[in-house]
Structure 1
Amino acid sequence: MEFLPNWFFELNPIVQALMGGLFTWGVTSLGAALVFFTKGINYKLLDGMMGFAAGVMIAASVWSLIIPGIELAEAQGMIGWIPAAIGFLLGGVFLRICDAYVPHLHIGLPRDEAEGVDTKWKRATLLVLAITLHNIPEGLAIGVLFGAASLGLDMVGGATVAGAITLAIGIGIQNFPEGIAISMPLRRDGLSRFKSFNYGQLSGIVEPVSAVIGAAAVIFITPILPYALAFAAGAMIYVVVEELIPESQLHGNADLATLGVMLGFVVMMVLDVALG
């Protein structure tokens, strides 16, 4: 990571996690900012980018979270697959519970198909909450890796600052289309450019918060780390299967979206192996 100054590696891991989360939030905002330049949206491009985002999250879940978690559990004398399996399933259950109770609306669906408890909230608010829900595990994943690296676990579990930075870069890349996917439909619905942008960037604000929580949790409760890594992976995979892939195929571009998934997977895999 020669492009980063040495002082970054000397920062408190919670501060590193915060900066990683702020970066991913910033990329979400960058995607949302396109609403200032155009009102239209190319659905072929967006669906391909959403598929790409799904591929990035799948690869990040495997190489950045599950594999290091298994290695760390084995180094601690545990059966490696047990915390991985438990944490992975708990991550999915957590997102399912959030889906059931938090009001939200998936991209591309009409207001009357909102999920969660009944509410009178506006369509814009529900769209932001949908993206916010799946940004939580992304922030947690970044924070957990920075926290793990600070504990000197790079020798036993593959957790390094470089790996955490790589994960933040990958998540940032896939956050770009998410910002677009929020701001553009709201602009078409008649909201001003500024309001559309504001709602789009707002969906990413949870990432620095959850990154700090993730880093602090593993630093102060080290034994949960293998479970925490798998938990973040399970939550991310739930989002991919339940939201990103279906949304990428709403406009008849299934083949393009599928190719996007494969490309995103390869890009994140290469980033993690080469840089992490």
Structure 2
Amino acid sequence: MIDYFMTLDPILQAAIATIFTWGMTALGAALVFTTKGVNQRFMDGMLGFAGGVMIAASFWSLLSPALEKAEGGPVPVWLPAAIGFLLGGIFLWGSDKLLPHLHPGLNMDQAEGINPERKRRSTLLVLAITLHNIPEGLAVGVAFGAIAADLPAASLGGAIALAVGIGIQNFPEGLAVSMPLRREGMARKKSFFYGQMSGIVEPIAGIIGALAVTVMQPLLPYALSFAAGAMIFVVAEEVIPGSQENGNKDLASMSVMVGFTIMMILDVALG
């Protein structure tokens, strides 16, 4: 199975990998069929773990290959990575200000973006997680696209590790949408539907990312670091603060360490 996967076009590989990460979101959302509630410590630990995974992936799977790709170019090695990284954060910051959304666990009066009061709570919850999933799908896509560019630092094992790591951290995100909707009285099937829909953007972003760096290879270091900057913004803005706002700071912090370590091992071992 793995041997066959290795023979596929990198764009198709990116599509399959991001369908897997979407599937993990759906799997998390499906817990709404089997349980009435989730322990808050568990959710905070999973959020912290997700933050650690995303931080590690941002460096080993994205920034490090970006720096290597920029070697021998017309500009200093650090410049494309620095520009792309900051642009990724600015893009997410701007999207956060414009797109109406509501983070799980908050009241409607705490919704963000333009005219959030005109949207239903379910829509706002889905948009919040969708906003986070855009850089994740993009990261997987550009990682597989980097393989097509024959970048030495980019490997199929590393790209697969990135997809696996993001898939693991997507599991609690689906649940974070479906469970609050169920608690508010929404039917289980409808709660599941909204929960899994938050991950549908990942295959779209993944294919776009892989296509972009395959067609325009000079943009590869910028694209890799852009995805890294977008993910780090999400971690700093929402993931880690959200994991600690319920008082489970020690658990969340240690979970960040565990997530970072596991993602580092996956990337280095498979890469």
Fold shared by both chains (TM-score > 0.5): yes
What is the aligned counterpart of 1:169 among 164, 168, 187? 164
Instruction: Report the counterpart of residue 38 of structure 1 in structure 2.
Output: 35
Taking the aligned partners of 2:134 and 2:207, their CA distance within structure 1 comes to 11
Tell me which residue corresponds to 2:12: 15
Identity of aligned residues (%): 63
Aligned residue in 1 for 2:99: 102
The answer to whether 1:192 aligns with 2:190 is: no
Partner of 2:258: 263
Q: Contact 1:69 / 1:230 at 8 angstroms: preserved in 2?
A: yes
Specify which of 132, 148, 153 is matched with residue 150 of structure 1: 148
Give the CA deviation at 1:179: 1.1
What do you get for the CA RMSD once the two structures are aligned? Answer: 1.0
- Return the TM-score normalized by structure 1: 0.96
Maintained 8 Å contact 2:126/2:197: yes
How far the C-alpha of 1:250 sits from its partner, in A, is: 2.2
CA shift for structure 1 position 77: 5.4
Match of 2:112 in 1: 115
Pick one of 171, 174, 177 that aligns with 1:179. 174
Residue 231 of structure 2 aligns to a residue whose secondary structure is helix
Decide whether the 8 Å contact of 1:146 with 1:215 is kept in 2. Answer: yes
Q: Give aligned pairs, total.
A: 270
SS at match of 1:45: helix
- Distance between the aligned counterparts of 1:75 and 1:45, measured in 2? 47
Write out per-residue CA displacement over residues 175-196 of structure 1, whole angstroms, 9 at most, x where no aligned residue: 0111111111111111111111
Offset at residue 111 of structure 1 (A): 0.7
- Look up the match of 2:80: 83
Report how far residue 12 of structure 1 moved.
1.3
Residue by residue over 1:8-46, the C-alpha shift from the partner in whole angstroms, topping out at 9 and shown as x without a partner, is 111111111100110000001001100000111100001
Check the 8 A contact 1:108/1:250 in 2, yes or no. no
TM-score, with length taken from structure 2: 0.97
1:55 matched residue in structure 2: 52
Match of 2:135 among 129, 134, 137: 137
Alpha-carbon deviation of 1:5? Answer: 2.7
Structure 2 regions of 5+ residues with no counterpart?
none
1-side partners of 2:240 and 2:2: how far apart? 37
Asked if the contact 1:25–1:201 (Cα under 8 Å) also holds between the matched residues in 2, the reply is: yes
Q: Answer whether contact 1:138 1:207 (CA < 8 A) is retained.
A: yes
C-alpha separation between the residues in 2 aligned to 1:74 and 1:224? 13
1:75, distance to aligned residue in structure 2 (A): 4.4
Give, as a single letter, the amino acid of the residue that structure 2 aligns with 1:143: G
